[in-house]
């Protein structure tokens, strides 16, 4: 029996790669210094994996920015617009071209946009989307994979296993950049390059190659399925004497099982964390020679593996296939997992014992193999931890479980229907038409960040800290009044992050010091860990909201993060369904909403930025998710008086396929991002005749550019063509925390002027 790993975090335990890349971009270090950092990370990663006893160790999983972009470079898929960069940069050409594709190029009189970035399936990792043209050509361009294999081989010998995104998923995850062709048809041109790559790696000495085909676990068209069949048959015809492993993850194979198990390759990897039920069917359909890699250690979450559960899967497979045809592995690349729990010194030791990060996950894979070989001591030690967690008072709070179990439909329904609420709210707030507001945060300047940092380090007393935050809040309120905004916000100066701020105040959450995970390029996030039943020991936002409300006569929105967003941006429990955890958070937020209302706050915004990104990969599972996600939001928003106005905000607004669920959230006001699409995204709302009030963002907060009043009036005119004018609000696309004050002020002044003009004209 072999063990393998599919990919390892490449940011480095101290985020060395992030720092080195950013220094390189700033011109502070040169290419060879950058390469030194990269080389060290790779060598350390390989050593760690070898020391853990992993038999097949990935190489070429390292990337300076993104592995999909690496694949584009290997395959020579370089959009035409980068040709000038290619001819300009001579010495460092490849890496500078590469970074230009990732980040855009504004130098030497050139201004070339970056390639598009999107979420890697249902993870929070973002990849660079390949761009294809009708006459797309493919050729080996970058030598990275060969160079990387060659140094990995020096260090690891036969254990080194090059990893590459497979041809069909590579095409499916890209995008057509012209009309008149389908990218999947490019498979015939693409496959010969894969054959060349595989044969070269073989000549270099590779014995195994891993081809990632996550799309095999998605809904596929007939044509997509044929492409898989074609590609792997064509490859099998032209390569021999090398073992190919096709890796799938994040979902089950389901209707693609037959296709997947019959691909002419040596081994297939399946994810038994996300889709344990698929093992049965895969084993019943598997042909005689195929080896099966079992993803039994969760690559996307932080929990210690339950060996007993894993061993059940492994034994089942061994029984059917024999021990030599079974491989043990993490469920997916460990890219999505923090690196090492051992370095965390501030976590409660009882809870720390339940956690496993990338380094520990490697050990788990190796230990499972040893247990199969008879080392039962390891099994018993694991049982103790697992049982400890299962029974711990720190996890289980009976009153919370009972409260969740008792939730009824009525707990998720406002007392009156929207038209009645709307009338009462209009009477209460007496706002002009096209009321103006913002999404919540104002610029997080260096001063504000330092304030929080100093307070955390104990360099400021609570009084000093709070008085400085109060000052920033008051200034922002005075300024909002001066420019004439109708509904104010407190500015969120006291918040580090919209999830962390709440997680830190809720029971059942813990925070790591170094638990970073790559989000995109050099950007890393440190998600909180939800380990236990969630409750709210005390008010979370009332102090700052009432302070702010007391500074003005205008309505002040309370500002909360919604349950699905908190769930989605955390590591979650694997010992209960996601919807149960979400409902626990929903009740906590619900209590906070009521506390705000009782404290006199008349408007409360509950941000659900991540509701769309929680959508399951497979269409058949989406309805169930939307039902509980929407209900969780409704729980937070129900129980308040009719005249209390509930707002929600969502960042991405491609809601075509889920608009009825967005409407079912029944927020009195929703603010969304629409300006970059010139209100295109509003069509779904118009078509559905969205019944409640809506603030389509009139300017893009992602850029420092200050929009003109005329532009925003034009957007409002468009919006008023699509939806009743009396339902429209005027606001930016999102919060302003990443902007600087000068552009924020100028843009919001213009926005208020645009609303005033709209009131006259529309
Ligand atoms: N209230 C948050 C803010 O303004 C919302 C941010 C978000 O939707 N991502 O920053
Ligand atoms: Zn937003």
Rounded Cα gap, residues 21 and 40, in angstroms = 14
Mean pLDDT, the chain, rounded, equals 96
pLDDT tens-digit readout, 548-584: 999 999 999 999 999 999 999 999 999 999 999 999 9
pLDDT band at 92 (very low <50, low <70, confident <90, very high): low
Ligand 1 centroid vs 651 CA: distance in angstroms?
8
In this predicted structure, what is the pLDDT of residue 91?
Answer: 60
DSSP string, 639-675: TS-TTSEEEEEES----GGGHHHHHHT--SEEEE--G
pLDDT tens-digit readout, 348-366: 999 999 999 999 999 999 9
Task: Give the pairing type, strands 2-3 and 243-247.
Answer: unpaired
Our mutation pick for probing the ligand 1 site, out of 672, 735, 739, counting the most ligand atoms within 8 A of Cβ, is 735
Half-sphere exposure of 485 (CA within 13 A, CB side): 26
Ligand 2 centroid vs 439 CA: distance in angstroms?
7
In this predicted structure, what is the pLDDT of residue 89?
Answer: 63
pLDDT band at 109 (very low <50, low <70, confident <90, very high): confident
702 part of the active site: yes
In this predicted structure, what is the pLDDT of residue 347?
Answer: 97
Nearest residue CA, atom 9 of ligand 1? 609
Token pair of 619, please? Answer: 């269409």
Q: Which ligand is nearest to the CA of 744?
A: 1
Ligand 1 centroid vs 495 CA: distance in angstroms?
11
DSSP state of 444: -
Ligand 1 centroid vs 438 CA: distance in angstroms?
10
In this predicted structure, what is the pLDDT of residue 203?
Answer: 98
Distance linking the first and last C-alpha atoms of the chain: 72
pLDDT tens-digit readout, 610-630: 999 899 999 999 999 999 999
Give the helix ranges, DSSP H, for 26-123.
Answer: 31-52, 67-74, 83-88, 93-103
In this predicted structure, what is the pLDDT of residue 659?
Answer: 96
pLDDT band at 168 (very low <50, low <70, confident <90, very high): very high
Our mutation pick for probing the ligand 1 site, out of 498, 557, 647, counting the most ligand atoms within 8 A of Cβ, is 498
Judge contact between 189 and 76, C-beta under 8 A: no
Q: Which residues, including other chains, have CB under 8 Å from residue 704's CB and lie 6 or more apart?
A: 739, 740, 743
State phi, psi for 672 to the nearest 5 degrees: -135, 165
In this predicted structure, what is the pLDDT of residue 412?
Answer: 98
Q: Which ligand is nearest to the CA of 493?
A: 1
State phi, psi for 296 to the nearest 5 degrees: -105, -10
Residue in 98, 63, 59, 74 with CA at minimum distance from that of residue 190: 74
**Cβ(673) – ligand 1 distance below 6 Å:** no
**Cβ(441) – ligand 1 distance below 6 Å:** yes
Token pair of 82, please? Answer: 């980068």
**Cβ(651) – ligand 1 distance below 6 Å:** yes
**Cβ(748) – ligand 1 distance below 6 Å:** no
Ligand 1 centroid vs 723 CA: distance in angstroms?
24
Task: Give the pairing type, strands 523-525 and 517-520.
Answer: antiparallel
Nearest residue CA, atom 4 of ligand 1? 735
pLDDT tens-digit readout, 45-78: 999 999 999 999 999 999 999 999 999 999 999 9
- Chain-centroid distance, C-alpha 463: 36
What is the sign of the dihedral through the CA atoms of 471, 472, 477 and 480? Answer: positive
Nearest residue CA, atom 3 of ligand 1? 735
For residues 226-233, give the mean pLDDT. Answer: 98
pLDDT band at 443 (very low <50, low <70, confident <90, very high): very high
Strand partners, 669: 647, 693
CA gyration radius, the chain:
27
Judge contact between 715 and 675, C-beta under 8 A: yes
Q: Which ligand is nearest to the CA of 673?
A: 2
**Cβ(650) – ligand 1 distance below 6 Å:** no
**Cβ(607) – ligand 1 distance below 6 Å:** yes
Task: From the candidates 126, 313, 702, 727, give the one annotated as an active-site residue.
Answer: 702
pLDDT band at 470 (very low <50, low <70, confident <90, very high): very high
Ligand 2 centroid vs 447 CA: distance in angstroms?
23
Q: Exposure of 333 by Cβ count < 10 A (0-12 exposed, 13-18 middle, 19+ buried)?
A: buried
DSSP state of 676: G
Rounded Cα gap, residues 661 and 611, in angstroms = 10
Specify the residue for token string 């070339």: 112
Nearest ligand 1 atom to the CA of 605 is 1
Judge contact between 644 and 603, C-beta under 8 A: yes
Strand partners, 119: 126
Judge contact between 234 and 187, C-beta under 8 A: no
In this predicted structure, what is the pLDDT of residue 389?
Answer: 97
**Cβ(439) – ligand 1 distance below 6 Å:** yes
In this predicted structure, what is the pLDDT of residue 108?
Answer: 82
pLDDT band at 606 (very low <50, low <70, confident <90, very high): very high
Chain length of the chain: 762
Is the pLDDT at 6 greater than 70, yes or no?
Answer: yes
Half-sphere exposure of 539 (CA within 13 A, CB side): 15
Rounded Cα gap, residues 525 and 522, in angstroms = 10
Q: Which residues, including other chains, have CB under 8 Å from residue 427's CB and lie 6 or more apart?
A: 643
Instruction: Reduce the DSSP state of residue 82 to 3 states and report it.
Output: helix
A 10 A CB-CB count for 525 gives 16
Rounded Cα gap, residues 276 and 296, in angstroms = 9
Rounded Cα gap, residues 320 and 287, in angstroms = 11
Specify the residue for token string 């995008």: 175
Half-sphere exposure of 245 (CA within 13 A, CB side): 30
For residues 502-509, give the mean pLDDT. Answer: 98
Ligand 2 centroid vs 762 CA: distance in angstroms?
27
pLDDT tens-digit readout, 645-681: 999 999 877 898 999 999 999 999 999 999 988 999 9
pLDDT band at 283 (very low <50, low <70, confident <90, very high): very high
**Cα angle 237-242-246, degrees, rounded to a multiple of 5:** 80
**Cβ(559) – ligand 1 distance below 6 Å:** yes
Q: Exposure of 20 by Cβ count < 10 A (0-12 exposed, 13-18 middle, 19+ buried)?
A: buried
Q: Which residues, including other chains, have CB under 8 Å from residue 196's CB and lie 6 or more apart?
A: 140
Instruction: Reduce the DSSP state of residue 107 to 3 states and report it.
Output: strand
């Amino acid at each position: 029996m072999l063990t393998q790993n599919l990919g390892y975090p490449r940011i480095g335990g101290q985020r060395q790669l992030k720092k080195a890349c950013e220094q390189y971009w700033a011109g502070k270090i040169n290419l060879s210094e950058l390469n030194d950092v990269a080389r060290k990370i790779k060598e350390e990663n390989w050593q760690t994996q070898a020391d853990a006893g992993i038999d097949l160790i990935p190489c070429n999983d390292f990337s300076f920015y993104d592995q999909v972009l690496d694949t584009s470079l290997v395959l020579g898929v370089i959009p035409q617009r980068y040709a000038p960069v290619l001819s300009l940069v001579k010495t460092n050409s490849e890496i500078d071209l590469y970074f230009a594709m990732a980040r855009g190029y504004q130098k030497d009189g050139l201004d070339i946009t970056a390639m598009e970035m999107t979420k890697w399936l249902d993870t929070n990792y973002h990849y660079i989307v390949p761009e294809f043209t009708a006459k797309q050509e493919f050729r080996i361009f970058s030598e990275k994979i060969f160079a990387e294999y060659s140094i990995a081989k020096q260090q690891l010998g036969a254990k080194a296993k090059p990893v590459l995104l497979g041809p069909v998923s590579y095409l499916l995850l890209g995008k057509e950049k012209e009309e008149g062709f389908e990218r999947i048809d490019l498979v015939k041109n693409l496959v010969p390059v894969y054959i060349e790559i595989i044969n070269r790696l073989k000549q270099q000495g590779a014995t195994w190659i891993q081809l990632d085909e996550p799309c095999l676990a998605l809904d596929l068209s007939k044509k997509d399925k044929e492409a898989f069949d074609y590609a792997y048959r064509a490859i099998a015809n032209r390569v021999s004497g090398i073992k190919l492993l096709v890796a799938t993850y994040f979902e089950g194979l389901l209707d693609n099982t037959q296709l997947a198990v019959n691909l002419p390759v040596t081994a297939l990897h399946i994810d038994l964390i996300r889709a344990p039920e698929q093992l049965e069917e895969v084993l019943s359909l598997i042909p005689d020679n195929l080896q099966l890699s079992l993803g039994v250690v969760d690559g996307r979450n932080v929990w210690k593996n339950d060996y007993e559960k894993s061993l059940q899967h492994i034994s089942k497979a061994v029984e059917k296939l024999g021990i030599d045809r079974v491989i043990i592995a993490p469920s997916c690349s460990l890219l999505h997992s923090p690196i090492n729990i051992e370095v965390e010194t501030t976590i409660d030791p009882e809870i720390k014992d339940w956690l496993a990060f990338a380094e520990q996950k490697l050990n788990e894979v190796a230990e499972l193999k040893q247990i199969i070989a008879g080392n039962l001591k390891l099994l018993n030690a694991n049982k103790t931890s697992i049982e400890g967690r299962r029974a711990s008072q720190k996890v289980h709070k009976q009153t919370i479980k009972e409260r969740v179990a008792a939730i009824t439909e009525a707990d998720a329904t406002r007392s009156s229907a929207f038209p009645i609420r709307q009338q009462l709210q209009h009477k209460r707030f007496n706002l002009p038409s096209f009321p103006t507001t913002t999404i919540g945060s104002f610029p997080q300047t260096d001063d504000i960040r330092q304030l929080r940092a100093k307070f955390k380090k104990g360099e400021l007393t609570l009084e000093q800290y709070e008085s400085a935050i109060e000052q920033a809040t008051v200034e922002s309120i005075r300024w909002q009044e001066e420019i004439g905004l109708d509904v104010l916000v407190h500015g969120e100066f006291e918040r580090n992050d919209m999830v962390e701020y709440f997680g830190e105040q809720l029971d059942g959450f813990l925070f790591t010091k170094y638990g970073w995970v790559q989000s995109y390029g050099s950007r890393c996030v440190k998600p909180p860990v939800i380990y236990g039943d969630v409750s709210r020991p005390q008010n979370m936002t009332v102090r700052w909201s009432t302070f702010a409300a007391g500074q003005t006569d205008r309505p002040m929105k309370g500002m909360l993060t919604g349950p699905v967003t908190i769930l989605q941006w955390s590591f979650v429990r694997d010992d209960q369904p996601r919807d149960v955890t979400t409902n626990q958070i929903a009740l906590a937020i619900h209590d906070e909403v009521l506390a705000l209302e009782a404290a006199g706050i008349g408007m409360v915004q509950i941000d659900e930025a991540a509701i769309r990104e929680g959508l399951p990969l497979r269409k058949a599972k989406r309805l169930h998710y939307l039902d509980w996600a929407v209900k969780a939001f409704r729980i937070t928003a129900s129980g308040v008086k009719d005249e209390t106005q509930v707002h929600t905000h969502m960042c991405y607004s491609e809601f075509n396929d889920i608009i009825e669920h967005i409407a079912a959230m029944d927020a009195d006001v929703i603010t969304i991002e629409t300006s970059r699409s010139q209100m295109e995204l509003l069509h779904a709302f118009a078509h559905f005749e969205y019944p409640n009030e809506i603030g389509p963002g009139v300017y893009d907060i992602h850029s420092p550019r200050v929009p003109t009043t005329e532009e925003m009036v034009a957007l409002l005119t468009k919006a008023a063509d699509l939806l009743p004018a009396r339902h429209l609000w005027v606001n930016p696309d999102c919060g302003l925390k990443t902007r600087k004050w000068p552009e924020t002020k100028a843009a919001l002044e213009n926005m208020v002027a645009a609303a005033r003009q709209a009131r006259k004209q529309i």
